[in-house]
Amino acid sequence: MLRKFLNFIFLGLVFPVFRFLKKEFSEFFLSQKPKFTARYWKKKWQGFRNFNWSKARPSSFLFLFRWAYKLGLFLLVLALSFYLAIYMGALGHIPSRKELKATQNSTASEVYSADNVLLGRYYLQDRTNVKYENISPAAIEALIATEDARFYEHSGIDFRSLGRVFVKTLLMRHESSGGGSTLSQQLAKNLYPRKDYLLWDMTVNKIREMIIARKLESIYSKQELLELYLNTVPMGGNLYGIERASRRFFNTSADSLKTEEAAVLIGMLKATTSYNPRLDLERSRKRRNVVLNQMAKYEFLTQTKADSLKQLPLTLRYRYETHNDGMAPYFREMLRQELVKWCATQKKKNGDPYNLYTDGLKIYTTLDAGMQAHAERAVRQRMAALQKQFDAHWQGRSPWGNDPAVITNALHRSERYKKMKAAGKSEDEIRDVFREPIQMNVFSWSGISKKNMSPLDSLRHHQKFLNTGLLAMEPHTGYIKAWVGGINHHVFKYDHVRSRRQVGSTFKPIVYAAALEKGIAPCTFFPNERQTYTEHEGWSPRNANEVYGGEYSMRGALANSVNTVSAQLIMQAGVEQTVGLARRMGIQNELPPVPSLALGTANLSLMEMVRAYASFASEGYNVQPVYIERITDRTGKVIREHQQPNTNRALSRTNAAIMLQLMQGVVEEGSAGRLRTEFGLKMDIAGKTGTTQEQADGWFIGITPNLVTGVWVGAESPKVRFRTLELGQGSRTALPIWGDFTKRVAQDPAYVGFYNSRFKALPPELQARLACESYREAAPDQNIFERVFDSITDKVNQTYDDWKNQRKSRREEKKRERQEKRKNKKN
């Protein structure tokens, strides 16, 4: 029976078609008649128009039937040719099965903290892919009920829906009859966007989508298609996929969507702008109810349940964040710049370089989300209070006085100025634009507001703000734990963790360490006398408080930041030797090879200074800062992992321990005493405050047993500052932020042991070397022989102590090696 049917088809349709084609093509191409001329076809058309149908014979109608038959076959062949042209890719690329199997959405790369908190994302399309099992069943059901009720019954093309569209939409003009595209066809459209084919635009695109849909159905299961669709679907603007839409509109994950929430998001698919609940809540609510009705119609919900859900108000928990928002924006921007360069050098299997914005990388950092949150809160609270004090200090006056260079320099640094200058605008033209009021984002500690203000007035407004940087690092591993680059990334883009400013007295511990390395004993007393160094162009450093007299040991001189003693120490240790030690401790920027370096005249970054101080806490080793633990691709494969770098010794273990003891004096008896009295901190703390000329910069770098934290405070221009040392010194500007941050961490139950942490106890011989008072009245003059003898004695004692400590360290290392070998043998 089947054979007879096939023969009928062949003899009745296919065979005549081939005969017709053979005849027509032979006549058309081999005949000598001029069928390719306009005159020939015009004559044929005139004959058809002038034909007298009333006198037509039966043979004439047979003739018409024959031509209709020929025309039908011709159109069929034309349609098949048209289809084959599309299928073969002549009218636009048709992906192969291999391409479709390898389909990957443009996926955002994500940055995570060490405790697995999502810090931020880098993307061109805001999308996070999720597995089918991590999507709420309500979203799946709402999608099928609304967009493709027979999804599980067809293989990519729903002919019943196509028939409905043809009859109701095209013939009867019922626009509400719905579309004929299946979910698979919509997925094809999302993956391979439509192209412009002029008059054939809709026809070609529809056929392309049908072809791709059939291929998708043959490759993926129904669940995989739903997963791919819900990860691909545009949700308005730059938002893609059910996961990001759930986060944006309801601040929840895709697997936690409630039925009424899922109905809102699925309802948006019809028109993402018209039914956006952020733009039109009432219209979105009505569309949600339509989706709920559809779910009831196809028995995904009972009618009673659907009716009850329709009565609920549409409540949004909208959360829209830009790259300026969220946790650690300055850190993420620094990371972005580095990763873009790194990705360009790394190749995927196909030979293409990685793309940070589309390849869905997972970047796992060393940042501690808890510490970062504490740091940002401390900065926000303390800087708001400090700014209030600063504004009152300068009330009615500009902090830069009558110096126009402050605003001029700020104007030249602005992006608006640089773009206009690059476009060839003159200075006068640029100034005119900067005087024209426009709508601007204006920062204040009560929030960012939009105001009509000229760019020039905006510059003046923002130049009045003090800014800050905070960096916390584990000294033994180099892991960065907190990074705050400024007070607000929306307005102040400059990262003050990496910016270079004059470091002031925070450089003095490096000078003291160089003196210890030179062999100067910590209990050597130095006269607090102002001296003039004629060999250095009459350089004559003076103390900030202009108080002189008496003698200081190293502990007392560092605690009280005595400039005259720092000058004597760098002269005895040697400027070149001090610079060399600073280099070994990790300082890379330029250091002026002059004695005034002892007072902190160098311009260095907070990153460099924290790294240098970490050498004191890591027993003298220079530890490289680390902020990336590992990076994985979208499949979870590790493509970069932190390898413990080789650490280099910067200074001896003994002198590093001595420096920790000396810097504890700054807290116990010096300028950082309020850390105990005001903040109630009980752990061991070593540190140093710093204040630069005319109070332009305030610093405090503090060391606790497991953390080194540095804070800088100042304005964008060094000319914007407090007028008095009492208000502008580092102990009044930077230290409170450090104390607030450390107190928050100490009180957090997540950091058990931090509150009472202690440095490693000094051996008795080192304690003996430090057993001296911090200050004494000037001793009577000694003769030259006594001073030389005392100096030699101190040197011999220190050399002997160092030799004993080295022998003890070697014995301990050998003991550990033996224990490790025994342990390995047992295993």
Report the pLDDT value the prediction gives residue 248, as an integer from 0 to 100. 92
Enumerate helices (H) and strands (E) in the chain, giving the number of each.
32, 19
DSSP secondary structure of 752-792? TTSTT--PPPPPHHHHHHT-S-SEEPPPPPPPHHHHHHHHH
pLDDT, one tens digit per residue, over 108-136 is: 999 999 999 999 999 988 888 899 999 99
pLDDT, one tens digit per residue, over 416-429 is: 999 999 999 999 99
Cβ of 85: how many Cβ atoms within 10 Å? 14
Report the pLDDT value the prediction gives residue 2, as an integer from 0 to 100. 45
Q: Quick one: pLDDT band at residue 741, thresholds 50, 70, 90?
A: very high
Q: Is 270 exposed, middle or buried (0-12, 13-18, 19+ CB in 10 A)?
A: middle
- Tell me the HSE value of 80 on the side-chain side, using a 13 A CA sphere: 6
With 80 as the cut, is the pLDDT of residue 696 above it? yes
Please state, in angstroms and rounded to a whole number, the distance separating the CA atoms of residues 377 and 628: 24
Report the pLDDT value the prediction gives residue 816, as an integer from 0 to 100. 65
Report the pLDDT value the prediction gives residue 789, as an integer from 0 to 100. 56
Bridge-based pairing state of the strands 447-453 and 362-365: unpaired
Looking at per-residue pLDDT, the higher value among 52 and 577 belongs to 577
Q: Distances in Å between the alpha carbon of 53 and those of 41, 58, 59, 64, 738? A: 21, 11, 12, 11, 102
Sheet holding 775-776, edge to edge: 526-527, 551-552, 775-776
- Main-chain dihedrals φ then ψ at residue 551, nearest 5 degrees: -130, 145
Report the pLDDT value the prediction gives residue 175, as an integer from 0 to 100. 45
Please state, in angstroms and rounded to a whole number, the distance separating the CA atoms of residues 439 and 457: 12
Report the pLDDT value the prediction gives residue 805, as an integer from 0 to 100. 62
Q: Distances in Å between the alpha carbon of 665 and those of 527, 617, 775? A: 19, 15, 12
Please state, in angstroms and rounded to a whole number, the distance separating the CA atoms of residues 265 and 242: 8
pTM here is 0.80
Report the pLDDT value the prediction gives residue 10, as an integer from 0 to 100. 44
Question: Using an 8 Å Cβ cutoff, are 439 and 450 in contact?
Answer: yes
pLDDT, one tens digit per residue, over 487-529 is: 999 999 999 999 999 999 999 999 999 999 999 999 999 999 9
Bridge-based pairing state of the strands 362-365 and 109-112: parallel
* Residue 64 tokens, joined: 């018409």
Please state, in angstroms and rounded to a whole number, the distance separating the CA atoms of residues 154 and 110: 37
Please state, in angstroms and rounded to a whole number, the distance separating the CA atoms of residues 442 and 450: 6
Top-confidence range, 197-201, 527-531, 821-825: 527-531
With 90 as the cut, is the pLDDT of residue 342 above it? yes
Average pLDDT over residues 339-351: 92
- What percent of the chain is predicted at pLDDT more than 90? 63
- The answer for 600, left when phi > 0, alpha when psi is -120 to 50, beta otherwise, is left
Q: Which residues contact 529 (CB under 8 A, 6 or more apart)?
A: 548, 549, 564
pLDDT, one tens digit per residue, over 656-673 is: 999 999 999 999 999 999
With 70 as the cut, is the pLDDT of residue 800 above it? no
Average pLDDT over residues 364-380: 98
- Main-chain dihedrals φ then ψ at residue 677, nearest 5 degrees: -80, -45
**3-state secondary structure (DSSP) of residue 277:** coil
* pLDDT mean across residues, the chain: 86
Average pLDDT over residues 405-413: 91
Please state, in angstroms and rounded to a whole number, the distance separating the CA atoms of residues 279 and 235: 13
With 60 as the cut, is the pLDDT of residue 30 above it? no
Average pLDDT over residues 806-823: 67
Report the pLDDT value the prediction gives residue 289, as an integer from 0 to 100. 95
Q: Which of 651, 591, 648, 645 is nearest to 620 (CA)?
A: 651
Top-confidence range, 142-151, 220-229, 460-469, 533-542: 460-469
Please state, in angstroms and rounded to a whole number, the distance separating the CA atoms of residues 512 and 557: 10
Please state, in angstroms and rounded to a whole number, the distance separating the CA atoms of residues 564 and 550: 12
Report the pLDDT value the prediction gives residue 258, as an integer from 0 to 100. 94
Residue with tokens 């025309």: 71
Q: Quick one: pLDDT band at residue 733, thresholds 50, 70, 90?
A: very high
Report the pLDDT value the prediction gives residue 784, as an integer from 0 to 100. 47
Please state, in angstroms and rounded to a whole number, the distance separating the CA atoms of residues 243 and 255: 8
Looking at per-residue pLDDT, the higher value among 154 and 195 belongs to 154
Q: Quick one: pLDDT band at residue 84, thresholds 50, 70, 90?
A: confident
Report the pLDDT value the prediction gives residue 173, as an integer from 0 to 100. 44
Report the pLDDT value the prediction gives residue 613, as an integer from 0 to 100. 98
With 80 as the cut, is the pLDDT of residue 63 above it? no
**Maximum CA extent, the chain:** 148
- Tell me the HSE value of 304 on the side-chain side, using a 13 A CA sphere: 0
Q: Which residues contact 104 (CB under 8 A, 6 or more apart)?
A: 360, 634
Please state, in angstroms and rounded to a whole number, the distance separating the CA atoms of residues 555 and 575: 21
Report the pLDDT value the prediction gives residue 820, as an integer from 0 to 100. 64
Question: Using an 8 Å Cβ cutoff, are 688 and 664 in contact?
Answer: no
- Main-chain dihedrals φ then ψ at residue 603, nearest 5 degrees: -100, 110
* Residue 353 tokens, joined: 């370089």
Eight-state DSSP code of residue 270: G
Top-confidence range, 6-20, 639-653, 769-783: 639-653
**3-state secondary structure (DSSP) of residue 468:** strand
Report the pLDDT value the prediction gives residue 34, as an integer from 0 to 100. 52
Q: Which residues contact 280 (CB under 8 A, 6 or more apart)?
A: 274
Residue with tokens 């109905």: 263
Report the pLDDT value the prediction gives residue 174, as an integer from 0 to 100. 45
Of 166-170, 441-445, 685-689, give the lowest mean pLDDT range.
166-170
Please state, in angstroms and rounded to a whole number, the distance separating the CA atoms of residues 322 and 312: 31
